[in-house]
């Protein structure tokens, strides 16, 4: 019984050492990788996308002086104010690349024509 008691004490000691090693690895991982991850950036003031040759602007917060420009920097649409949580629609009329500009934030939107393939 004495030998069994000694073996169990050695086993408990080895489990304790293993837990200390695992804790050390976890602290090293935290200090090395987790602290280097930058904090999340603030959300964009708006999201813009194109559907059926129309640029749709969804305001995440109230935005003012919103301009939609084509690839030649010609102004296609202008909105004085878009309230938070609402959307505005700008008909661009053709495919191409458009820039939605509000304050310091710009978003590039690409409009293209979808091809319908008929299976007759």
Q: What is the pTM of this model?
A: 0.62
State the CB neighbour count (10 A cutoff) for residue 67.
16
Task: Answer yes or no: do 31 and 52 share one domain.
Answer: no
pLDDT score recorded for residue 2:
64
Task: Answer yes or no: do 18 and 73 share one domain.
Answer: no
Task: Answer yes or no: do 17 and 70 share one domain.
Answer: no
pLDDT in tens, the chain (120 residues): 566 677 778 888 888 899 999 999 998 888 887 777 777 888 889 999 998 889 999 999 999 999 999 988 899 999 999 999 999 999 988 888 999 999 889 999 998 877 777 776
Is 118 a member of any domain? no
Task: Answer yes or no: do 11 and 68 share one domain.
Answer: no
Give the number of domains in the chain.
2
Task: Answer yes or no: do 50 and 106 share one domain.
Answer: yes
Tokens of 21: 């090693």
Q: What is the 3-state secondary structure (H, E, C) of the chain?
A: CHHHHHHHHHHHHHHHHHHHHHHHHHHHHHHHCHHHCCCCCCCCCEEEEEECCEEEEEECCCEEEEEEECCCCCEEEEEEEECCCCEEEEECCCCEEEEEEECCEEEEEEECCCCCCCCC
The CATH number for 56's domain is 2.60.40.3080
Where in the sequence is the domain holding 24, given as residue range(s)? 2-36
């Amino acid at each position: 019984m004495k030998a069994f008691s000694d073996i169990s004490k050695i086993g408990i000691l080895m489990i304790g050492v293993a837990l200390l090693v695992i804790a050390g690895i976890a602290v090293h991982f935290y200090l090395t990788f987790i602290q280097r991850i930058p904090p999340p950036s603030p959300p964009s003031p708006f999201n813009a996308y194109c559907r059926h040759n129309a640029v749709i602007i969804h305001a995440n917060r109230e935005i003012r002086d919103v301009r939609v420009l084509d690839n030649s920097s010609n102004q296609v649409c202008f909105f004085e104010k878009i309230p938070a949580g609402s959307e505005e629609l700008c008909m661009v009329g053709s495919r191409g690349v458009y820039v939605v500009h509000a304050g310091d934030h710009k978003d590039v939107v690409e409009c293209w024509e979808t091809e319908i393939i008929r299976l007759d």
